[in-house]
Amino acid sequence: MSKRKHVFISHHHADDDQVSKLTDLLGRKGYEIRNSSIRAKPANRARLDRGEIKEATIKRLLRMKMSWASTVIVLIGKETHQRPWVDWEIRKANELGKRIVGVYTRGGTEADIPPTLEDYGDSIVNWNSASIIDAIEGTESPFENTDGTARAPINGAQTSRC
């Protein structure tokens, strides 16, 4: 089985450093994570903040990058549940039939889980390489609290895998 995984990591841009930490964590377990998500450079971040990039352009770019991935990972940080683009990315991942895995960052809580992740997530796991790998691989679909203990899933639907 290949340990190269094509993922899209949905996150609040304040958590950009967590994206690198996640890929490093899984890299230490032998996984090569190829992340197609967007981490805007400061100049582009400023253009986004000023509204100089059309929403349709952003959606088209995100859709193209997400279609390449087999799994969408949602980093659950302190403000993730308030981010409209994270919500849109989760809805789009579900529409595209992607496996959706939530991963708590340090400081993330159950209260920070986006409602759309509760609706469409295949798994929500703690910051633990074994749990994250099982969720990405689909060998297990755990729903965990921030401390790694089991919690009940909210949704009943599973994403199809073609």
Per-residue model confidence as pLDDT tens digits over 22-43? 999 999 998 888 887 776 666 6
Question: pTM of the entire structure?
Answer: 0.85
Instruction: Identify whether 117 is part of a domain.
Output: yes
* Number of domains present in the structure of the chain: 1
> Can you give the CATH number for the domain in which 36 is found?
3.40.50.450
Domain span at residue 26 reads 4-137
From CA 64, how far away is CA 78, in angstroms rounded? 27
Instruction: Identify whether 131 is part of a domain.
Output: yes
DSSP 8-state assignment for residue 141: -
**Of the given ranges (27-36, 67-76, 96-105), which has the lowest mean pLDDT?**
27-36
Contacts (Cβ under 8 Å, ≥6 apart) of 23 = 33, 35
From CA 18, how far away is CA 151, in angstroms rounded? 24
> Tokens representing 106?
């340090």
> Is residue 125 pLDDT above 60, yes or no?
yes
**Would you state the pLDDT for residue 41?**
65
**Closest by Cα among 92, 100, 134 to 117:** 100
DSSP 8-state assignment for residue 116: H
